[in-house]
Amino acid sequence: MRYLLTSLLSCIGHYALCCTCILNANVKDEIDARDVVFVGKVLSNSVVDGITNKTVNLPLNFNVRQYNDTTIDIYKLKDEYRVLVTALYKGKIKSDTISIYTDYHGFNGACGFKFNIGESYIIYAYYSKVDSEKITKHKKMCVNICSRTRSASDINEIKEIEKNLRNKKKK
CATH number of the domain within which 101 lies: 2.40.50.120
Q: Is residue 11 part of a domain?
A: no
Give yes or no for residue 3 having a pLDDT over 50: no
pTM of the model: 0.77
Higher per-residue pLDDT: 65 or 116: 116
Q: Is residue 4 part of a domain?
A: no
Mean pLDDT of the chain: 78
Q: How many domains does the chain have?
A: 1
Higher per-residue pLDDT: 68 or 105: 105
What are the φ and ψ backbone dihedral angles of 78, each rounded to 5 degrees? Answer: -130, 150
pLDDT digits (tens, 9 = 90+) for 121-165: 999 999 886 554 454 556 789 898 888 999 999 999 999 999 999
Write the DSSP symbol of residue 116: P
Q: Is residue 108 part of a domain?
A: yes
The rounded distance, in Å, linking the Cα atoms of 88 and 35 is 11
Q: Is residue 136 part of a domain?
A: yes
pLDDT digits (tens, 9 = 90+) for 45-81: 988 877 677 777 766 556 555 555 555 666 677 889 9
Q: Is residue 15 part of a domain?
A: no
Q: Is residue 43 part of a domain?
A: yes
Q: Is residue 32 part of a domain?
A: yes
The rounded distance, in Å, linking the Cα atoms of 143 and 125 is 5
Q: Is residue 71 part of a domain?
A: yes
Give yes or no for residue 18 having a pLDDT over 70: no
Long-range contact set of residues 115-119: C-beta below 8 Å, sequence gap at least 24 = 115/42, 115/45, 115/79, 115/81, 115/83, 116/42, 117/42, 117/43, 117/44, 117/45, 118/41, 118/42, 119/41, 119/42, 119/151, 119/152
Q: What is the pLDDT of residue 15?
A: 38
Range of the domain at 135: 22-58+67-170
